[in-house]
Structure 1
Amino acid sequence: MNIIQSIFQYILDMGAPVFVPIIMIIVGLIVKMKFRDAFSSGITLGVAFVGMSLIIGFMMGSIGPAAQQFVKNTGIELNAIDGGWTALAALAWAWPLAFLMFPLQIGINIVMLATKQTNTLNVDLWNVWGKILTAVIVSAISGSVVLAFVVAALQMVLELKISDVNQKQIQKLTQIPGVTTTHSMNLFGVLLYPLNKLLDFIPGMNKQIDANWLKQRLGIFAENHIMGFIIAVLIGVFAQMGVAKSLTLGVQGAAALTLFPMVSKLFMQALSPISDATSEFMQKRFKDREFYIGLDWPIMAGCNEIWVTTILLIPVMLGLAVLLPGNNVLPFAGIINLSVAVPAMIVTGGNLLRMVILGAVTTPVFLYLSTSFAPIVTNLAKTTKSVDVPSGQLITWSTIEYPDFRYLFAHAANGEIIGIAGAIVWLGLFVWYYKGMKVRNKKIDQENEKLGNIA
């Protein structure tokens, strides 16, 4: 058992920038790509992951301290430290049964492909840590390891189903064919979907207000570098950083929003050849099926709406962290709320105004549930000794991914009526989301047919 655990740990310790390209090279060779082409695509994908990671790290390193300074200026003391996703990933992998989640995910994907329950081949195996974290939370609340794995397995099934139905929308947004995002953060779209439907009844909300719409009306002020500069400077001003530091923060914000689309093009460059080869290979063997390659969310990172949304939500999150009674989390490492921006991007079809509204409305969900999870995460940290937590403080993640799913199903596993009822309602909303996205997919197909006829 220890040998198997060591093998899986060694592979996963490589990280996504190494692990995923290796998987993609293997996939490329299986679908009959030339070695030089598969190798080139794989390495380019690794470069894209590294580049995106560097920019995100740079952005968080720039804006994070300004956000923390804003909270300090309020004089409010919050004792739950926001360790972000990296701290919780380290804790998840330290769980003694973590290595079992890896073969479970592969097995479920293979069975679902074989039984035609999904068309997505999930190669984003590194993010299995998200399922491990779910299992840790369920196990801590319910006291049952078996139910922890049951809920994690359910999450794997649902993420494959939602990846299938999201694929056409993702392709429309990214212009990358044959791929989808299998990251479980998209499960939060189940909560966002009905809220987005409500916005249909509000006048003015049915306009497609995205980055291109802004450019047409605001001119140079809607350019990436200008938007990044203005928003970052305002954050510096609110944090009382002074003129020089605020201007420096502005240039850093401008740099981040300028570089994101540049790096995102590398994903298209890497994935398009593999996608084309995979599609051709599968069509020869399975003429009645369409297959997708499931990858991490950064394939969508070139969509400017994601980054504008996350930056605009920073003052909202900080303000609510201070004002909401019962919140115990100081937003810091997780201040860039991708956990809502990415699924909101898919749900709204890239409507920037709706993305910001949905993010603002659901921010309390993240703060309250991350507060709820803090004792569990802190206990795991102390038990495994993988993260050092100062005495008298807690550790959590202010923008923990799909907190609604984790909270409801953990309490359902514990036999609580509210948890069971909430989980049933959540599954009902999932079905509504799934059916609604299938209707949207038909419209996308019709649009593509019209464009094809015109061409």
Structure 2
Amino acid sequence: MSYILGFFNFIQGLGANVMMPIIIFIFGIILGTEKGKALRAGLTVGVGFIGLNLVINALGANLGPAVEQMIKRFGLSLSVIDVGWPAAAAIAFASTVGMIIIPVGLIVNIVMILTNTTQTVDVDIWDYWHFAFTGALVAISTGSQMMGVIAAVLNMIIIMVIGDYTAPGVEKTLGLPGVSLPHGFTGAYAPIAIVINKIIDLIPGVRDIDISMEKVQKRFGVFGEPILIGTSLGIIIGIIAGYGIKDVLTLGITMGAVLVLIPKMASLLMEGLLPISDAASEFINKRFSKKGKMYIGLDSAVGVGHPVTLSVSLILVPLTVFMAVLIPGNKVLPFADLAVIPWMFVLITPVVNGNGFRALINGIIVLAVGLLISTNLAPLITIAAQNANYTMPSGATQISSICDGANPLTWLIVRINDFGWIGMAVIAVVAISLAIINRKRILKEAHEMEQKA
């Protein structure tokens, strides 16, 4: 067992940029893709991920100082520090649940595929840390590692179902055919967006407001293009931060570049995935019946490039900082994870069909509630960090994050387990029920595909 865990720890330590090309290559060979094509696909996916990370790092490196300056300029002071997702991932993987989450997650995915309870082959195993994060907090709150592992598994089942359900929207709105996004952070916001979207539909006048990038570009011409929208929002953030003219312009041009480059890197990644996706469909159709359409599960980073997702996220950066001060009961000072706000919107954007107004309403609500969630989970996250020998920021007594500290699904699973095994049973019933409902939908879809064939 120690050798097996050591192997998976080694794989985990490689990081997504190295791990994804290897997984895609092996997956392609298993599916019968020619070795040369599989190798090229894997390397292209790796290049796409590296390109995405370079642009995303540029986003964080430029937004971070602006936010820090904003905080200093307005004298904001809150007691819980947002340490960001890299720290949260490290804390999750350092836990007992995190040590076994990759083999456990692979087993869960295989069982769900064989039982027709998912259509997704989730190759994004590095992001299993989101499930481990939930499990680690449950293990601390209940004092039971077994309950932590079960919580992580149930979290994954729910997210896999959400990934299947939202995959058609990912294909249509985000332009990612054959891809689903079973991402523990991103997926948690899709059900909330569905509810908020239906509420908006009931409000006369408001339901007719539609701000789409196509309409903006049609109305404003070149001034409605993503490059100018990003530049304008970057300049506004720089002005709010009190930057000088040089830094304002630098931030503006960098944000404009981000809105242009992220979609291009995502399209490069898709170029590598398409032959594997086609091979997966052919493989499933030949060897299995009643499977319906199959999807490759990826990191939601591939979907952050939609103009609505990025534009709304940039608007929300300064808003989130000010909401943190104004919301009663919040103790979290948002900082490191402000750059991951786009990940919240990757599935919200398809749910609202690319409507920027509805996306913004969703964003304000989920971030306002998310700050309170991250405040509530801060004591558990701090204990998890101490257990992982994480070095606390200077002067900080507690830490939290937006990703996954503000995750509503994580919070729900953690807090319902305050009721012990009764709470766990409730989550289990919900997860299994969703899987059964998903199975019925998959079998119906497969039957319809057989009839058309």
Whether the TM-score (by the shorter chain) exceeds 0.5 is yes
Match of 1:282 in 2: 284
In 1, distance between residues paired with 2:122 and 2:311?
A: 28
Matches within 5 A, 1:121-140: 121-140=121-140
Contact 2:373–2:406 under 8 Å retained in 1:
no
Match of 1:372 in 2: 376
**Helix, strand or coil: the match of 1:395?**
strand
TM-score scaled to structure 2, two decimals?
Answer: 0.90
In 1, distance between residues paired with 2:269 and 2:305?
A: 9
Match of 2:310 in 1: 307
Match of 2:22 in 1: 22
Match of 1:453 in 2: none
Q: State the one-letter code of the partner of 2:414.
A: A
| Post-superposition offset of 1:374 | 1.8
Contact 1:318–1:331 under 8 Å retained in 2:
yes
Q: State the one-letter code of the partner of 1:302.
A: G
In 1, distance between residues paired with 2:190 and 2:115?
A: 26
**How many aligned residue pairs are there?**
439
Match of 1:332 in 2: 335
Contact 2:142–2:420 under 8 Å retained in 1:
no
| Post-superposition offset of 1:392 | 4.5
* Compared CA separation, residues 107 and 15, structure 1 to 2 (3 A): same
Q: Deviations over 1:367-387 (max 9, x none)?
A: 111112222222222232133
In 1, distance between residues paired with 2:230 and 2:238?
A: 12
Choose from 363, 367, 372 the match for 1:363. Answer: 367
Contact 2:373–2:405 under 8 Å retained in 1:
no
Match of 1:117 in 2: 117
Establish whether residue 239 from structure 1 lines up as the match of residue 244 from structure 2: no
* Compared CA separation, residues 224 and 244, structure 1 to 2 (3 A): same
| Post-superposition offset of 1:213 | 1.8
Contact 1:229–1:250 under 8 Å retained in 2:
yes
| Post-superposition offset of 1:228 | 0.9
* Compared CA separation, residues 120 and 216, structure 1 to 2 (3 A): same
Contact 2:230–2:258 under 8 Å retained in 1:
yes
Establish whether residue 155 from structure 1 lines up as the match of residue 158 from structure 2: no
| Post-superposition offset of 1:346 | 2.9
Matches within 5 A, 1:39-438: 39-185=39-185, 186-202=187-203, 203-206=205-208, 208-289=210-291, 290-336=293-339, 337-400=341-404, 403-415=407-419, 427=430
Q: State the one-letter code of the partner of 2:389.
A: K
Contact 2:52–2:265 under 8 Å retained in 1:
yes
* Compared CA separation, residues 392 and 32, structure 1 to 2 (3 A): closer
| Post-superposition offset of 1:285 | 1.7
| Post-superposition offset of 1:209 | 2.8
In 2, distance between residues paired with 1:392 and 1:121?
A: 40
| Post-superposition offset of 1:7 | 1.2
Contact 1:94–1:386 under 8 Å retained in 2:
no
Structure 1: runs of 5 or more not aligned? 450-455
Q: Deviations over 1:82-139 (max 9, x none)?
A: 1110011111111134222111111111111111111211111111111111011111
Contact 1:83–1:334 under 8 Å retained in 2:
yes
Q: Deviations over 1:141-200 (max 9, x none)?
A: 222222211211111111111111111111112333222111122122222221111111
In 1, distance between residues paired with 2:214 and 2:423?
A: 43
Q: Deviations over 1:283-311 (max 9, x none)?
A: 12224422211111122133121111110
| Post-superposition offset of 1:9 | 0.9
Q: Deviations over 1:242-281 (max 9, x none)?
A: 2221111111111111211211110221111111121122
Contact 2:178–2:277 under 8 Å retained in 1:
yes
Q: Deviations over 1:410-445 (max 9, x none)?
A: 12212189x959x77x959x96xx89xx7xx99xx9
User: Among the aligned pairs, what percent are the same residue?
Assistant: 32
* Compared CA separation, residues 401 and 182, structure 1 to 2 (3 A): farther
Q: CA RMSD in A?
A: 2.8
In 2, distance between residues paired with 1:319 and 1:388?
A: 25
Q: Deviations over 1:334-369 (max 9, x none)?
A: 113134212311321222111111001221211111
In 1, distance between residues paired with 2:403 and 2:369?
A: 9
Contact 2:79–2:398 under 8 Å retained in 1:
yes
**Helix, strand or coil: the match of 2:338?**
coil
